[in-house]
Amino acid sequence: MQLHDGRILAWYEWGPVEGLPVLFCTGAGMSGWLGFGASDLPSLGLKLIAIDRPGLGLSDVHPNKTLSSWVDDMRELIQVNDLHNVLAVGFSQGAPFAFALAGQNLVKAIAIVSGQDEFTHPRVRPLLHPDVEGMVAAVQKDAVGFEKYFSQMATPDGLWRLIIGMSAQCDRVLYENETFSQAYQRALQEGFSQGTQGYARDLVNTFSSWSVKLEEITVPVDLWYGGLDTSPVHSPDFGTTLALRLAIASHTIDPQQGGSILWTRSWDILAKLKSHVSTT
């Protein structure tokens, strides 16, 4: 669709046309091409809408993209497409984008799955891996320089290797499956199809202090983490600090799962999310 400022916003859909809409905030550098839970959507009566964030995939670059501008884009998407009882899922780096929607009450509930935490929060920062702490410090010192640096060195293949390298063995079993690997890498290739600007700006926005105040969110938030998750760019305490900051939160840590819990427990995640909405 064309937004009011002339930019193009693109997304992918799965599930019944009349299903309850679930906005999917994808992981780092990904287009919306790789969804999740496609086989679960019809029985749950849900429609998954996986958005290409501005500068990724087929969505035009926003010259000053922030979490707030993302909310404005999603408000327009919801209004133009006449969506009601909207839900959202934020995976990995998509977490702050889902939180931003919840903070403005654009959605009835959200699920945060293997989600990134707010790395600048005083309870979280001491828990960070040194490499992640270094990136947070670099953003705080010189956000423009940090964005320029990552714009020059990031590639979809490099990001894929980084994801695999940070993943637990149980996650690599899924990620390195030939079919899944090809699908994930296609989403990254599409995400970088316009260059690196969209990904680099997302890094700056998500590694900075967030504009949304989690303590003020009034909609239900489901937190889902795998106890075997080894990614240093997800929540360092598996969502415990996030749960403490939220007014209405459920917190699930599955000891048998890793960061790929989005795909291995998709039905449970979606069913619980839907339970927050009355369809009568």
In this prediction, what percent of the chain has a pLDDT beyond 90? 98
pLDDT in the model for residue 278? 77
The CA distance from 77 to 215, in Å, is: 26
CATH no. for 11-274: 3.40.50.1820
Instruction: Using the predicted structure, report yes or no on whether residue 21 has a pLDDT greater than 70.
Output: yes
240: which 2 tokens? 């415990």
Q: What share of the chain is helix, strand, coil (3-state, %, to 5)?
A: 45, 15, 40
The CA distance from 164 to 161, in Å, is: 5
Structural domain spans, the chain: 11-274
Full-model pTM:
0.97
Which class for 68: exposed (0-12), middle (13-18), buried (19 or more C-beta within 10 A)?
middle
Instruction: Using the predicted structure, report yes or no on whether residue 280 has a pLDDT greater than 90.
Output: no
In this prediction, what percent of the chain has a pLDDT beyond 70? 99
Neighbours of 145 (CB within 10 A): 11
The CA distance from 186 to 176, in Å, is: 13
pLDDT in the model for residue 24? 98
pLDDT tens-digit series, residues 86-145: 999 999 999 999 999 999 999 999 999 999 999 999 999 999 999 999 999 999 999 999
191: which 2 tokens? 């995400």
11-14 and 46-51 as β-strands: parallel, antiparallel, unpaired?
antiparallel
Mean pLDDT on 240-264: 97
